A and B are shown apart, each in its own frame.
Chain A
């Protein structure tokens, strides 16, 4: 009887030791896996940071967002065509400006950084219009197409705000979701610089430095054949 009890005790001890060993094995495996995952994540992060440093050297005073950190997918491609009405009800198409350099600026009445950028665009419009620059502001304000009275009020608000900001170029009302082919514009202002051939040569998301905007305008004016 005692011998049987002793054997049972030994078996139980062996079982417990095996379970402890398994638990310790699991801990070691978990630790190694965790370490490998962290190393992989760190390497990926470093690679990404290096990519940012190479592709987007920041000018002094440049905000982190105001950028080409990730090159826009439209870069080098034909700018998506559109036809929209301006604040006075006139239809304006991008194709109306063939042979001209065009800046397409997505903005909204509620966008504070846009209020900083717009006066610069007004100045550039005056300065470079003679060289073939056109600027189009596209309002991304919410519209209520099902409520005519409200829609009229919303359009009037856009026109009033444009007048308040003394915008000297056409302000278009985006009731056709034009922002979608331009990449689903999210952060405002978002600005595209289109050359005389109709190709996107630069873009900025967020408030870019004035000098960067002017350089992008010159790039749009300088590239492609003169009309």
Chain B
């Protein structure tokens, strides 16, 4: 009987967790606003949320980002001086030095109407390597990725994707 009770409670909990909770239901039902939001915020920080590094030594944090499907952002080294480069903005924090930041090379992209005008862009997932050196203890690596996104028909003003990584230096 106890087993039956436990099984029933576990299943009930699972069903409740799989429910369309109110805030999830709103996102699913409001097609327009989610599309608009995805255009406005074309890039999202994925991970890590926490890293452990050796105290006082050079370390690298691999910051993973994702560009929404159907959109692209300029790479760190766009080919036209008028285009806005993707860059990392990090606040200086006591106990942690931020060293060089390495961006991946962009991939070639051209609008269908201007096939010869090649752009250097990031699409999908990409990783930025940030060099740091931290004193022993816990630190917060806080910053933002500044980017300017476009899709095939529109370009959107520059925006920032926030980043927060808990750095534990031992």
**Is there a chain B Cβ closer than 8 Å to A95's Cβ?**
no
A13 proximity list for chain B (CB < 8 A): 1
Q: Given A27, A33, A44, A66, which contacts B11 in the complex, CB threshold below 8 Å?
A: A27
Q: Is the CB of B153 within 8 A of A207?
A: yes
Q: Is the CB of A112 within 8 A of B158?
A: no
B82 proximity list for chain A (CB < 8 A): 109-110, 157, 161
**Is there a chain A Cβ closer than 8 Å to B116's Cβ?**
no
Q: Given A31, A63, A186, A189, which contacts B152 in the complex, CB threshold below 8 Å?
A: A63
Q: Is the CB of A112 within 8 A of B117?
A: yes
**Is there a chain B Cβ closer than 8 Å to A83's Cβ?**
no
CA of A34 to CA of B15, assembled, Å: 10
CA of A91 to CA of B113, assembled, Å: 34
How many residues of B are in contact with the other chain, CB < 8 A? 39
Check A23/B8 contact, CB under 8 A, given A30-B15, A34-B20, A112-B111.
Answer: yes
Q: Is the CB of A27 within 8 A of B29?
A: no
Check A45/B40 contact, CB under 8 A, given A112-B117, A142-B158, A205-B154.
Answer: no
Q: Is the CB of A20 within 8 A of B15?
A: no
Kindly report which residue of chain B lies nearest to residue A186, judged by CB atoms: B156
A105-153 residues at the B interface, CB under 8 angstroms: 108-116, 140, 142
Q: Is the CB of A33 within 8 A of B4?
A: no
Contact with B along A14-43 (1 / 0, CB 8 A): 001101100110110011011001101100
Contact with A along B1-40 (1 / 0, CB 8 A): 1101100110110011011100001001101100000011
User: How extensive is the interface on chain A, given as a class?
Assistant: 35 or more
Our count of residue pairs bridging A and B at CB distance below 8 angstroms stands at 112
Q: Is the CB of A63 within 8 A of B20?
A: no
CA of A41 to CA of B21, assembled, Å: 13
**Is there a chain A Cβ closer than 8 Å to B84's Cβ?**
yes
**Is there a chain A Cβ closer than 8 Å to B67's Cβ?**
no
Check A188/B32 contact, CB under 8 A, given A113-B111, A157-B82.
Answer: no
A110 proximity list for chain B (CB < 8 A): 74, 82-84, 148, 155
B157 proximity list for chain A (CB < 8 A): 108, 140, 142, 186, 188
Q: Given A65, A161, A186, which contacts B153 in the complex, CB threshold below 8 Å?
A: A65
Check A30/B11 contact, CB under 8 A, given A16-B2, A19-B5, A41-B29.
Answer: no
Kindly report which residue of chain B lies nearest to residue A19, judged by CB atoms: B5
Check A24/B8 contact, CB under 8 A, given A109-B82, A142-B158.
Answer: yes
A44 proximity list for chain B (CB < 8 A): 29
CA of A116 to CA of B117, assembled, Å: 11
Question: A59: shortest Cβ distance to chain B, in Å?
Answer: 13
Q: Is the CB of A116 within 8 A of B113?
A: yes
Check A41/B28 contact, CB under 8 A, given A16-B1, A161-B82.
Answer: yes
26 chain-A/chain-B pairs, Cβ below 8 angstroms = A16-B1, A16-B5, A23-B9, A26-B16, A27-B11, A27-B15, A30-B15, A33-B19, A34-B20, A48-B31, A65-B153, A66-B153, A70-B32, A110-B74, A110-B84, A110-B148, A110-B155, A113-B155, A115-B117, A186-B39, A187-B153, A188-B156, A188-B157, A189-B154, A206-B153, A206-B154
Chain A to chain B: the 4 pairs with minimum beta-carbon distance, closest first: A187-B154, A206-B153, A206-B154, A23-B8
List the interface of chain A (C-beta within 8 A of B).
13, 16-17, 19-20, 23-24, 26-27, 30-31, 33-34, 37-38, 40-41, 44-45, 48, 63-66, 70, 108-116, 140, 142, 157, 161, 186-189, 205-207
List the interface of chain B (C-beta within 8 A of A).
1-2, 4-5, 8-9, 11-12, 15-16, 18-20, 25, 28-29, 31-32, 39-40, 74, 82-84, 111, 113-114, 117, 119, 148, 150-158
Given contact pairs A23-B9, A186-B156, a sample of 19 additional A-B residue pairs in the complex whose CB atoms are under 8 Å apart: A16-B2, A23-B12, A26-B16, A27-B11, A30-B19, A31-B15, A41-B25, A45-B29, A65-B151, A66-B153, A113-B150, A114-B155, A161-B82, A186-B40, A186-B157, A188-B155, A206-B154, A207-B153, A207-B154
